[in-house]
Each structure stands twice: as structure tokens, then as C-alpha cells.
């Protein structure tokens, strides 16, 4: 725009425009139809609370930052707060806010910006835009009393911070705007109550599944639907809430995979997943599966010792006689296992012991964290849903599988647990075996034969 333009001239140009029209004129941001609906929603009432029910990659950050940019321009003396439970999403949203101004045909000076730094912008008419992190004691110290708040990743925010820190900001404001952006995370908490729960009547919550975006790649979505289990896909791409109190692997998913007479082919590669005994009533479980997803054997024992554990794996790999399995044929692979995946958390690090036993290039030790367990269990669930596995009718296996419960960590990772007094030894061994079969375990393996002798640290 010409240098003759001043802020007053821009204001006059914008008279009569809706917000969706203004952000196009000021920031060259042409919103989609669903983004425009949210941009213009505040024009219907003085007090706005909106929380879209969204999937990934629908442009929520772009439209949210455009809301903040427009509000700052037209509300002298007011504070705009951009926040999130973690620093990174708060910073990213603030960066998008600044990008709107950088894309504008007007200069920062023409738009009234008098000070711009990494976490705070000030305008000539007294408005400020602040980027802060929830829960770090800084929200109320440097903000006057924001009348506009946008919370990114709101489903991961502590309910206390939203209800007792953010909500009181609006007590003295006859007009305000409060926006929550997030993908769903379980059927509980402040964000769920706003979108679908007990407080949903007070919130505007349009549904934005990923497919609503004009930039969504249909082939990509189809691929993700095939890769992910139904629960994860529904949450991440359909924007659906999934009840955290439900079983992670309900009977209707597991039962079709229980095959009374599976087709076992000797030439198929074989894999062994091992969940060592930890303590108490836990059992060490050895799960034998082939490349077609067919279970051959399941062995278990109540206790084990370090040397005995390594010796047992060596015997199984070498096709030496083993005791009668809990389930299966008792037949061992003639050429050994392609991969043996062992949960390292329970046994400690002893790669050299496997190397000395001739198993160094066969054994993968996997440290199970929330991230690794999420990926391995999501693959297991996806394969069960596709009936790509043949399971034995084994009481403990089926009972423990169908009793698994799930929740989410504060960072959004899947967290699996068993009911009080229950166990997950058999599901974990199956999950490790399937991760070996599908190659998922390779990404989390902590060793491939070092060839160096080390003192073993036994964790049981």
C-alpha cells in the first residue's frame, strides 16, 4: 500500500467489513468457509466462547492467530493472550500471529505496531499481544487483564489453569472472546466439557475433521486410516472424542482373531517376543509368532534368573527341546528365529551376554517408554482390527488383552494399564512379537551386538 496510508485511513477502509473480510484485506489471509464462520462468530454476541472439534491440519492455528491479530487492531487498550500448556505450541501460535503482519501489504508502522519482540507486541493505541505458557506463574504478573484469550492444545491443559486462571480474566469485561483449539483427548476434562460435555451449551463448537480442509490429501488420509487403529484415527483425523475408560482392545476386536485351526507354514520366518518377569506375581512370557501373524507357541514361567534367561533364549533359538507350551504346537523353528525382541526395562542392559551366547545379531532389546509402547500397541490394534493375526484360545491371553485400559499422558501419548490386581504380561509379549514381525521394534531397539563384554545388570 502507498506510504500515504496511516492507521486512521486503514480503519476507514475497513468500515462495514466483516472480520473475515478484514483479515483478507489486511493480512492477505483468504479464509475457507468454515474458517470464516469462526472469524465472524463474535459478531452475533458480546461474549464469545468457541472450541472447534477438530482433526489435524485444518488451519486452526492460522485462523486462531488471525483472530488475535484482528482483535488487537480494533480494541484499543486491551490485552490479547496467546497461551498453551507447553512453550512450543504457544510460541508457534505467536509466530503465526506475527506472520500475518509480515504478509500484509501495510507496514507495521501503518498498522500501529510500536514494539515487537519474541513474546510481546505493543500497539500505538495501547493494545498488547502476549505469548505465555500456562501453569508457570507468569500469566497474571505481566498481563493487565486480557479480554481475548486463545489456548492452543487445550485438551492437554490442566483444568485448574483454564477455570481458575483464565476464566476470572473475563469477570470485568462486558465483551470478551475465549477460544480453545485442540484435537480431542478422552471424554473428560475442561475441553471435552466445552465441546461435548456438561458445558457444551455455552460454547460454539463446529466440527472440523481433517477432510474438511481443501488441502487435505485423500490418499494420505486413506493411508493413515490403514496404518492407525480406529481409535487413534478417529481422534487425530476425525476429531472425535474417545472414552478413556473403555477397553483398548475390546472383545469385538479380539474375538475374530481367535483361530482354532490356524494355517502354520514351516517356511515362514518366526519371531519371538519376550516380556521378562519383573516382580511379585508377574510371569515371564515368551510369544512365538510367524510372518503371517500366526501364533505358534506361548511359554511362561513364574521366575527366571539372568543366566537361565539367556540360556533359555539360546535353546529356543537353536531348536532345542522346550517344555510343553501354555498354548501352541511345541514346534520350534528349524533355522532359528529371525528376531527375538526382549523388553529391556525388566532385565537391564546385557547385550554382551547375548553376544557370548551367539544371539547378538538376533536379539533386539527394546526399552518400553510411552512413545515406543504407543507405536507398538497401535500397530497391534491395527493388525487385530484387520484380522491379520491368529491367536490361540488361551484364557490368560484373551483376558489380559481385553482388560487393557488406556489413558493419555499430559503430552498426548497413549498410556496403557491393567485393572488393579491384573496383569499385562501376555499382551506385552504378543505386542513385542508383533513389533518384531512388522519391523516396528527396530525403531526402538537399543542394541545390535556390540561384541564387548559388559557386566550385566539384572533387573529381576
Grid cell, residue 259, equals 483361530
Can you give the pLDDT at residue 452? 35
Average pLDDT over residues 137-152: 72
For residues 41 and 65, what is the distance between their CA atoms, to the nearest angstrom?
A: 15
For residues 340 and 318, what is the distance between their CA atoms, to the nearest angstrom?
A: 12
For residues 12 and 24, what is the distance between their CA atoms, to the nearest angstrom?
A: 16
The position carrying cell 463446529 is: 206
- How far CA 326 is from CA of 37, 261, 298, 452, in Å, comes to 60, 16, 5, 36
What is residue 389's DSSP assignment?
A: -
Can you give the pLDDT at residue 306? 65
Can you give the pLDDT at residue 453? 29
**Is this model's pTM higher than 0.75 or not?**
no
**pLDDT score of 304 more than 70:** no
Phi, psi of 340 (to 5 degrees): -120, 115
- How far CA 109 is from CA of 10, 282, 420, in Å, comes to 12, 68, 62
Count Cα atoms within 13 angstroms, Cβ side, for 261: 0
**pLDDT score of 61 more than 90:** yes
Can you give the pLDDT at residue 449? 45
pLDDT digits (tens, 9 = 90+) for 17-47: 999 999 999 999 999 999 999 999 999 999 9
Can you give the pLDDT at residue 457? 29
Q: Would the CA dihedral through 143, 147, 148, 152 be positive or negative?
A: positive
- How far CA 35 is from CA of 52, 66, 215, 446, in Å, comes to 10, 10, 13, 45
Q: Which CATH class is domain 251-444?
A: alpha beta
> Across all residues in the chain, what is the average pLDDT?
86
pLDDT digits (tens, 9 = 90+) for 178-198: 999 999 887 778 999 999 988
Phi, psi of 47 (to 5 degrees): -115, 115
Average pLDDT over residues 161-187: 91
**pLDDT score of 8 more than 70:** yes
Confidence of residue 141 (pLDDT cuts 50, 70, 90): very low
pLDDT digits (tens, 9 = 90+) for 205-251: 999 999 999 999 999 999 999 888 887 889 899 999 876 556 889 88
Helical residues (DSSP H) of 181-300, grouped into ranges: 190-195, 218-227, 230-236, 251-254
From the options 1.20.1280.290, 3.40.50.2300, 3.40.50.720, 3.40.50.300, give the CATH code of 7-227: 3.40.50.300
All structural domains of the chain with their residue ranges: 7-227, 251-444
Query: In this structure, are residues 243 and 186 in contact, taking their beta carbons and an 8 Å threshold?
Result: yes
Average pLDDT over residues 405-413: 80
Q: Residue 396's CB: how many other CB atoms inside 10 A? A: 17
Amino acid at each position: 500500500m502507498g506510504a500515504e496510508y496511516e492507521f486512521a485511513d486503514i480503519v476507514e477502509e475497513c468500515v462495514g467489513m466483516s472480520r473475515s473480510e478484514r483479515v483478507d484485506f489486511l493480512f492477505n489471509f483468504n479464509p475457507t468457509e468454515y474458517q470464516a464462520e469462526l472469524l465472524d462468530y463474535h459478531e452475533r454476541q458480546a461474549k464469545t466462547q468457541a472450541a472447534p472439534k477438530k482433526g489435524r491440519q485444518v488451519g486452526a492455528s492460522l485462523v486462531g492467530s488471525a483472530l488475535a491479530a484482528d482483535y488487537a487492531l480494533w480494541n484499543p487498550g486491551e490485552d490479547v493472550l496467546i497461551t498453551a500448556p507447553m512453550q512450543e505450541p504457544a510460541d508457534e501460535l505467536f509466530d503465526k500471529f506475527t506472520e500475518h503482519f509480515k504478509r500484509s501489504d501495510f507496514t507495521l508502522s501503518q498498522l500501529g505496531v510500536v514494539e515487537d519482540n519474541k513474546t510481546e507486541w505493543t500497539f500505538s493505541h495501547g493494545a498488547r499481544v502476549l505469548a505465555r505458557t500456562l501453569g508457570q506463574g507468569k500469566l497474571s504478573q505481566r498481563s493487565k487483564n486480557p479480554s481475548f484469550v486463545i489456548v492452543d492444545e487445550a485438551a492437554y491443559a490442566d483444568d485448574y489453569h483454564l477455570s481458575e486462571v483464565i476464566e476470572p480474566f473475563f469477570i470485568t469485561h462486558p465483551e470478551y472472546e475465549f477460544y480453545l483449539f485442540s484435537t480431542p483427548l478422552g471424554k473428560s476434562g475442561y475441553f471435552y466439557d466445552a465441546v461435548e460435555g456438561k458445558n457444551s451449551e455455552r460454547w460454539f463448537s463446529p466440527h472440523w475433521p481433517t477432510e474438511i480442509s481443501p488441502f487435505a490429501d485423500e490418499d494420505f488420509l486413506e493411508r493413515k486410516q490403514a496404518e492407525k487403529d480406529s481409535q487413534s484415527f478417529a481422534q487425530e483425523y476425525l476429531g472425535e472424542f474417545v472414552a478413556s475408560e473403555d477397553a483398548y482392545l475390546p472383545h469385538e476386536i479380539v474375538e475374530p482373531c481367535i483361530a482354532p485351526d490356524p494355517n502354520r507354514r514351516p517356511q515362514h520366518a518366526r519371531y519371538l517376543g519376550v516380556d521378562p518377569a519383573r516382580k511379585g506375581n508377574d510371569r515371564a512370557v515368551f510369544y512365538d509368532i510367524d510372518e503371517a501373524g500366526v501364533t505358534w507357541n506361548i511359554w511362561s514361567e513364574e521366575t527366571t534368573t539372568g543366566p537361565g534367561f539367556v540360556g533359555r533364549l539360546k535353546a529356543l533359538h537353536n531348536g532345542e527341546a522346550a517344555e510343553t507350551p501354555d498354548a501352541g504346537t511345541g514346534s520350534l523353528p528349524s533355522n532359528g528365529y529371525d528376531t527375538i525382541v526382549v523388553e529391556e526395562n525388566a532385565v537391564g542392559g546385557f547385550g554382551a551376554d547375548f553376544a557370548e551366547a551367539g544371539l547378538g545379531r538376533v536379539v533386539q532389546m527394546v526399552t518400553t517408554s510411552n512413545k515406543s509402547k504407543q507405536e507398538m500397541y497401535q500397530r497391534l490394534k491395527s493388525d487385530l482390527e484387520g484380522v491379520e493375526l491368529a491367536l490361540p484360545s488361551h484364557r490368560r491371553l484373551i483376558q489380559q488383552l481385553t482388560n487393557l485400559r488406556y489413558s493419555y499422558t499430559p503430552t498426548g501419548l497413549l498410556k496403557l494399564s491393567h485393572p488393579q490386581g491384573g496383569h499385562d504380561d501376555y499382551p506385552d509379549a504378543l505386542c513385542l512379537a508383533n513389533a518384531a514381525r512388522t519391523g516396528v521394534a527396530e525403531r526402538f531397539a537399543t542394541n545390535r551386538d556390540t561384541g564387548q563384554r559388559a557386566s550385566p545388570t539384572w533387573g529381576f
